[in-house]
Amino acid sequence: MLIGKAGEIRSSEITPRDVYFSRRKFLAGGVGLAVGAGALRAAAKLEGLGKSPFSTTEKLTPYDAVTTYNNFYEFGSGKDQPARFAKNFQTVPWTVSVEGHAQKPRTFDLDSILALAPIEERIYRMRCVEGWSMVIPWAGYPLSTLLKQVEPLSKARYVAFQSYYNSKQMPQARFSGIPFPYVEGLRMDEAMHPLTLLCVGLYGERLPNQNGAPVRIVVPWKYGFKSIKSIAKIKLVEKEPPITWNLANPREYGFYSNVNPKVDHPRWSQAKERRIGEFFKRDTLLFNGYGDSVSSLYAGMDLKKYY
């Protein structure tokens, strides 16, 4: 009966997402009253998402895996911990300050971020430095849209990001063994690249806390840790900014951290990956398969040296 309603929903392929959407719409249809409080607790929906030519058609990683298998060290170093410990993470009110070398530095509240541009669905591969991967239907718009708002100056050669950090809200953080607040960075051309997403949702709803609510970035050709979560501050800077994992362990994590099967991490071979939900490993692709779009950014660079 539940599934019967799915006809009027979206695309026709049978994916976990369709089942998911059908349930969401069903609840939204006013029949939701009959359903337990647990289901109603679900995150706010994002309506009318546009499609994107950048989306892959690969099979989606199920919603449950995307939202229960996370690296978000502010909420604990175990994969299952963010889903448990981020439950009550307060993301309202939320602001993101965009500052540094900009003509019009400015602080955005979340509503203005949500209203800045049409939000589209971007189905990206996500490759973790630990050797596993997922396919996730993110929702957002290019980061460049936000950055252009503040009119970057020519001195702005890099973009430094900083996550929100509050040890009261994140009591697990101090056991994680890395410094906080979490910081990340991109070169300006990487940040302005159309694939680089300012992300506010996944699976057609606003970001669950454990996935980096309420706003994060997604850089699909780099290892997952480059895609910083729960962003509080963005700064346009002149020099290459520090990044957390490099501070924690410089030998193992570099500033660029482009997905590259030929450059091994000292602890893991990066030649292969296990797609979550699959049994056999698959070959890892250079730039996570986005080489056509991004390899020109690194023309002439020694990718082993700039790992």
For other proteins, the binding residues (CB under 8 A) are: 62, 64-65, 68-69, 73, 77, 79-80, 130, 132, 175-178, 248-249, 264, 266-269, 271-272, 274, 276-277, 279-281
CB of 270: closest distance to other proteins in angstroms? 12
Euclidean distance between CA atoms 265 and 287, whole angstroms: 15
Our CB check for other proteins shows the closer of 62 and 100 to be 62
CB of 152: closest distance to other proteins in angstroms? 33
Residue 21 is inside which H or E element, if any? Answer: helix 16-28
CB of 81: closest distance to other proteins in angstroms? 10
The values of phi and psi at residue 189, to 5°, are -70, -30
Our CB check for other proteins shows the closer of 45 and 272 to be 272
CB of 177: closest distance to other proteins in angstroms? 3
Q: How far is CA 229 from CA 104, 181, 208, in A?
A: 24, 11, 11
Our CB check for other proteins shows the closer of 155 and 267 to be 267
Our CB check for other proteins shows the closer of 135 and 294 to be 135
Euclidean distance between CA atoms 294 and 285, whole angstroms: 13
Our CB check for other proteins shows the closer of 175 and 306 to be 175
CB of 285: closest distance to other proteins in angstroms? 17
> Do you find a cis peptide bond into 181, omega within 30 degrees of 0?
yes
Q: How far is CA 295 from CA 37, 56, 94, 167, 191, in A?
A: 48, 18, 35, 39, 14
Closest C-alpha to 28, from 62, 5, 51, 10: 5
